[in-house]
Structure 1
């Protein structure tokens, strides 16, 4: 039964009357009005940088485009710097769309978002000839094909998302031309159509496989019908074999290229700390709900699907009524049934994707719109009064206009340049090339894109995963981290703030500035200068800059070390320290037959180096008891050398984390030799601090030598 439903999608020789000259003129006029309406909607607020409509997804595509252009990187290993290093991690599509956007931007000087809108709109309008020719395979006279195209042009989803910074319009265009080429190749067995099918199918599969996937079942059903027809003819295996060979030839390259891309990218994504959710299996079964019967029969999923119908297409009642009316009209029943089945089959294939992401309907709205168009054609052939037919035909168009102006037009009307004061501040006042750490916004690229900064976005649910946080922060070692950005409830997540403060050199006692429901912590080395600049800069609306916290004499246990004590106790430290701040007091213990200085965090030791010093040798370690018990062990200790300058500023000269439980090479005594170029009057502070928590952080300093 399902096969029969799909095969009628391409039924030919449908019995329809030839349109009269008056009807033809009216349909041409309707098409031209619909085209003008579509162009107006697509180009409305064309120069506004705000990416209205699933901005989180548009900004991801925009970020890819930005870094392709900035780095002149047109390879398949493109950067999507959203979920931390390695930046090459979210490889979901071959970036053909992004390459075209960059090429157009370079050729015309258009900003990326306008070039992207141009590419998306061009792809949509270039798909119309393919749809026009496909409608001809149904036996529709030319003027009546324009009626169906007019419905497509007026659809809210094809107005709103044909101007989006999304790959969907390009995948749709490739899919439409592939389906036309497939049908013509199967009917005519001509090589030019096979070549077109190969090129368009490969483009569709690599740009967005989820779009191509929902255009395959109708084609497969038509191919199966042709094969069944050949077998029924009983003329041997030659004809069925040729049909099968031609059918496979139209998709073998496309599916082979897609398989190769998946095999190439899945291991890269799987190896990343959090990008593994974008592997093909996880994405299709988890995010899209591939063949998920629970989702398919979920009342919540269907509630969302029906809402998306009303956003993207028209009222659910108009859609349902139009399909039922078409099924009641014998002349158009087949096409209405087949096209409607294609529409519903796609949602059955990926129920979650369509229920929660209305832009996914860009790929399949054409099927149900074409079905409604055939219902209208059927009405034109009835004996109903022409005035009544005209009124009924006008209903779907009126419903589409109402749906667009009630929903999408409102968002599209926002007079915004893109971004908001928080992203403006981050772009203007954090070092170019620096990295943001963001939590509470999942992996939405809005803040990284508008601030033009790379980001480690801590995905929702991972903020309490210490193993993940450790790995993600370790991957950022050596990067210039310029801010911790906390959204919503995570503003109160003290464990995350404490860990980030330890790793990034933040003051955990309070944010540097806030914007609405966002707190931003800036590293201590940048915070004072940032506050100074902001005090003299034009204000950023809604941003509150918090005064610095009183330093509370951070050194609560500061003690002076007299020369006599230094000479008697600190013989292994050259030069000898002159002051210390050890949370648990200065104390010595025996390790390996010698006395070492206990440095359980927090511990700080100050030394005035020789003016001609060029090398620091530091010996330190953790006691075996810190890591030998698997149920109660250290989670790491960081050892830091900080240079304190006479003007009160600081700079980090060295940092190393010892984690002897996870890394056996960190067990036992460690000796570091650090090259240095010191500044006049600079004092060195040798510190130990907890990597995450201070539990069993039994560290010690054995020796320090600073030499020319």
Structure 2
């Protein structure tokens, strides 16, 4: 792709070849990272946003294309649309058309959009009549930038919005130059509208700056204020700048209407999130906006810190052609203005800078290529400076991001995968679940393949939901209630009390969270046959000091671990030593990767068991044992643990 760029017919210099090779090398390494780790589950940085995009894509693939597409983590009705689902549906088509893993398809499409940014970049460079060196330096900086190397291969819409925005800019420059005005105008409108409905925060600052440029250029060309008051100028301004905003507003109003049908969706409308999206003056004056967002993330990680800062400052005073000088100034504005328009979003989200750092990279490339690169003595300086910046970018990527990219997520190291595996194993196909303590993350729903209401602590009806979660499943059968710790505190007592009020529900601990599930199997006969079992009871003791009389029991058992045979169900037995009465409690099957590794059976599931038990009396001596259902028969295992309560 990069080697085919040829926007000027002048003879190639050796430095041009060097910069081209540098750009190609950076692109190939970025492509290697994107493709080599394309199958990584979207549990890396900002998994909240990645899995939200992934789950909307997953259900688009099941339900077909729809404007009110489902994001089934907020209860029924399931639709809370934000962006127009263009990126998601492209991922669906790629995944289904090539029978490709959805996660890999999502990451690859994201990187393809980043790679496609070469097209508008090359077009803009040709329009500005900049040197080959400047273009190749920019591409080297773009594809070596840690920001774009990392976020350009995530399951997110960022690069799609960026590509559409850059394409719109390229056609806007045609409009300014009076080239193919009708065609350029139509294409500008198409791409700026696509950018706005894909992710409004990316093109909105750009559209505002372009409107100012259009006004300034008109005044400069005509030398008269009357020109901007003419009907022609007003009509063109309405067409190019107001019409796209109108389309974006219509889309926002539509999504607000759909969200309002959902009890939590009403808290996600544009009006409800106005302060979150636009920020406050406190955000604009916050120290971390300058020290973290602007200095560390933008300049430090992607422009070699003080070296990049020096280049950008120097660009303000360079003696270069007016068009280049204007381009540098405008790029600096485009690079900085979004941070102050959406300060809170930039503070909270590290990926938001993908919308604006690209312009700072282009400004730096222009300074290097058009200042140093156009003077015989400066060529060596340009080579050194560009190489240092690329080297800095690669160092930062290796230091701050590569380990995360290389991480393989499994139920052994991921709480969400461990819980999702338990949900997948225990829920009926049409069952939904309710989760507390996970904000409104899509992770558990996405990886379990089940719809949910993941109740955030900011939900207006939070207390009602914890008291009666079944009311928030709608017409769907409630298959589970998941509780993790959140800002509302320790919720296990409430869920345990709720489950106790339901017939045949059990509560178990999985990876630090607690899951309430309906019991599935038959009761255990008192005449169950004894057996020598593989396994152990690893834990048998109090859950928490705030829950006296409740114990947690965890362990594992296999019928034949070497052959990968596991029991159908496990039961925890509880014997009261005072009256010798024994009661059996169905346990929840859990995934134990350590057991799988021990037996060399990586695909073996349900080897673990877990159960919370309320003791008959908060004080006394008990013996905990294990029984299991295998081959349709119940057998009792040989291992046991003593439990003392009330001491």
Mark yes or no: TM-score above 0.5.
yes
Answer with 340-349 or 480-489: which moved more. Answer: 480-489
- Counting only pairs closer than 5 Å after superposition, residues 179-190 of structure 1 correspond to structure 2 as 179-188=169-178, 190=181
Matched, 1:70 2:62: yes
Matched, 1:317 2:298: no
Other structure's SS at 2:39 match:
coil
> Corresponding residue for 1:297?
285
> Corresponding residue for 1:162?
152
Q: Matched residues in 2 for 1:95 and 1:178: separation? A: 19
- Counting only pairs closer than 5 Å after superposition, residues 452-471 of structure 1 correspond to structure 2 as 452-462=449-459, 465-467=462-464
Other structure's SS at 2:60 match:
helix
Q: Is the 8 A contact 2:228 2:234 kept in 1?
A: no
The alpha carbon displacement at 1:401 in A equals 0.8
> Corresponding residue for 1:628?
none
Matched, 1:130 2:110: no
Instruction: Name the CA shift for 1:506/1:175 in 2 (closer, same or farther; >3 Å).
Output: farther
> Corresponding residue for 2:633?
none
Q: Matched residues in 2 for 1:527 and 1:328: separation? A: 82
The alpha carbon displacement at 1:491 in A equals 7.3
Instruction: Name the CA shift for 1:472/1:296 in 2 (closer, same or farther; >3 Å).
Output: farther
1:219 to 210, 227, 233: 210
- Counting only pairs closer than 5 Å after superposition, residues 231-250 of structure 1 correspond to structure 2 as 231-233=222-224, 237=227, 240-250=230-240
> Corresponding residue for 1:522?
517
The alpha carbon displacement at 1:422 in A equals 2.4
Q: Matched residues in 1 for 2:408 and 2:383: separation? A: 37
The alpha carbon displacement at 1:449 in A equals 1.0
Answer with 372-381 or 332-341: which moved more. Answer: 332-341
Q: Matched residues in 2 for 1:547 and 1:161: separation? A: 41
Other structure's SS at 1:513 match:
strand
Matched, 1:55 2:47: yes
Task: Identify unmatched segments of 5+ residues in structure 1.
Answer: 1-15, 555-708
The alpha carbon displacement at 1:130 in A equals 0.7
The alpha carbon displacement at 1:372 in A equals 1.1
- Counting only pairs closer than 5 Å after superposition, residues 469-480 of structure 1 correspond to structure 2 as 473-480=470-477
- Counting only pairs closer than 5 Å after superposition, residues 605-624 of structure 1 correspond to structure 2 as none
Q: Matched residues in 1 for 2:418 and 2:363: separation? A: 46
Matched, 1:379 2:375: no
Other structure's SS at 2:454 match:
strand
Q: Matched residues in 2 for 1:477 and 1:504: separation? A: 18
Counting matched residue pairs gives 531
**What are the superposed Cα offsets for residues 542-592 of structure 1, whole Å, 9 maximum, x if unpaired?**
9963346267499xxxxxxxxxxxxxxxxxxxxxxxxxxxxxxxxxxxxxx
Give the superposed CA RMSD: 3.3
**What are the superposed Cα offsets for residues 83-105 of structure 1, whole Å, 9 maximum, x if unpaired?**
212212x2101111111111111
Q: Matched residues in 1 for 2:450 and 2:102: separation? A: 16
The alpha carbon displacement at 1:238 in A equals 9.1
**What are the superposed Cα offsets for residues 217-244 of structure 1, whole Å, 9 maximum, x if unpaired?**
231121111222255257x659954344
Q: Is the 8 A contact 1:118 1:163 kept in 2?
A: yes
- Counting only pairs closer than 5 Å after superposition, residues 437-456 of structure 1 correspond to structure 2 as 437-456=434-453
Answer with 146-155 or 491-500: which moved more. Answer: 491-500
- Counting only pairs closer than 5 Å after superposition, residues 473-492 of structure 1 correspond to structure 2 as 473-489=470-486, 492=490
The alpha carbon displacement at 1:137 in A equals 3.0
> Corresponding residue for 1:278?
268
The alpha carbon displacement at 1:267 in A equals 2.6
> Corresponding residue for 1:404?
397
Instruction: Name the CA shift for 1:471/1:78 in 2 (closer, same or farther; >3 Å).
Output: farther
Q: Matched residues in 2 for 1:370 and 1:446: separation? A: 36
The alpha carbon displacement at 1:166 in A equals 0.8
Other structure's SS at 1:485 match:
strand
> Corresponding residue for 1:497?
495
Q: Matched residues in 2 for 1:531 and 1:302: separation? A: 56
Q: Matched residues in 2 for 1:267 and 1:75: separation? A: 15
**What are the superposed Cα offsets for residues 338-375 of structure 1, whole Å, 9 maximum, x if unpaired?**
21121110100001111121111111111110111112
**What are the superposed Cα offsets for residues 320-348 of structure 1, whole Å, 9 maximum, x if unpaired?**
22212323433265433321121110100
Instruction: Name the CA shift for 1:128/1:536 in 2 (closer, same or farther; >3 Å).
Output: closer
Instruction: Name the CA shift for 1:185/1:389 in 2 (closer, same or farther; >3 Å).
Output: closer
> Corresponding residue for 2:162?
172
Task: Identify unmatched segments of 5+ residues in structure 2.
Answer: 1-7, 524-567, 572-585, 596-606, 619-647
Answer with 62-71 or 473-482: which moved more. Answer: 473-482
**What are the superposed Cα offsets for residues 98-133 of structure 1, whole Å, 9 maximum, x if unpaired?**
111111112111121122122212211122111111
Q: Matched residues in 2 for 1:523 and 1:31: separation? A: 58
Other structure's SS at 2:434 match:
strand
> Corresponding residue for 1:261?
251
Instruction: Name the CA shift for 1:238/1:446 in 2 (closer, same or farther; >3 Å).
Output: closer
> Corresponding residue for 2:77?
86
The alpha carbon displacement at 1:446 in A equals 1.3
Q: Matched residues in 2 for 1:139 and 1:504: separation? A: 74
Q: Is the 8 A contact 2:508 2:587 kept in 1?
A: no
Q: TM-score, normalised by structure 2?
A: 0.74
Q: Is the 8 A contact 1:156 1:311 kept in 2?
A: no
Q: Matched residues in 2 for 1:281 and 1:312: separation? A: 34
> Corresponding residue for 2:538?
none
Q: Which has the larger radius of gyration?
A: 1
1:427 to 410, 419, 424: 424
**What are the superposed Cα offsets for residues 499-553 of structure 1, whole Å, 9 maximum, x if unpaired?**
753786686xx832321x3222223567988646978887355996334626749
> Corresponding residue for 1:619?
none
The alpha carbon displacement at 1:462 in A equals 4.0
Answer with 92-101 or 469-478: which moved more. Answer: 469-478
The alpha carbon displacement at 1:62 in A equals 0.8
Q: Is the 8 A contact 1:132 1:149 kept in 2?
A: no
Q: Matched residues in 1 for 2:158 and 2:299: separation? A: 19
Matched, 1:539 2:592: yes
- Counting only pairs closer than 5 Å after superposition, residues 197-212 of structure 1 correspond to structure 2 as 197-212=188-203
> Corresponding residue for 1:23?
15
Q: Is the 8 A contact 2:43 2:409 kept in 1?
A: no
Answer with 468-477 or 319-328: which moved more. Answer: 468-477
Q: Matched residues in 1 for 2:228 and 2:382: separation? A: 49
Other structure's SS at 1:30 match:
helix
Instruction: Name the CA shift for 1:381/1:536 in 2 (closer, same or farther; >3 Å).
Output: closer
The alpha carbon displacement at 1:456 in A equals 0.9
Matched, 1:394 2:387: yes
